[in-house]
Amino acid sequence: MERKDTFGVHFVLRRMPTGRCYVYARIVVNKTKCELGMKQQINPSDWNEAKGCAKSKSDELRRFNSYLEEVRAKLVRHYQQLRLGDERISADMVKQAFLNYDKPVEQHSLMWLIGHHNEIMKTVLAPGTMKNYRTTESY
């Protein structure tokens, strides 16, 4: 039996006291929703509320719309990849996949970083300076 999931991406505005608006992508999956800030501002008079995009009256606004469509396509692609798995999908999972939160970041300890620095800099720095760095490393 095939799973029936609902999915949608809509762009909405959040008005600021300055009069300009920030654009957010609202991701809806199976009645769960979350918003993703696009870090883009737009004048409310340039926004088509019914279509959820900018009015295409200038080249800048057309480029803005193409950026929004790229974001929409990436979100759809991440949703489809998540859908291939067996687990239940939420809007937050799509957002995290889009932001690459699912990829682990390589972390190093301070001792490793100091040792790595000393190894790289031993041919560049004077012997007295390296002595100070080795002393720091021994603590």
Q: pLDDT digit string (tens) for 78-105?
A: 999 998 887 889 999 999 999 986 566 5
| Rounded Cα gap, residues 110 and 118, in angstroms | 12
* Helix (H) or strand (E) segment spanning residue 58: none
* Average pLDDT score over residue span 31-58: 91
| Model confidence at 112: pLDDT above 70 | yes
Beta strands in 1-139 (DSSP E): 7-15, 21-29, 32-42, 47-48, 53-54
Residue with tokens 């949703």: 79
Q: Above pLDDT 90, what percent of the chain?
A: 56
69 & 131 share domain:
no
In a domain, residue 2? The reply is no
80 & 117 share domain:
no
For residue 15, what are the β-bridge partners? 21
25 & 91 share domain:
yes
Domain limits for position 110? 106-139
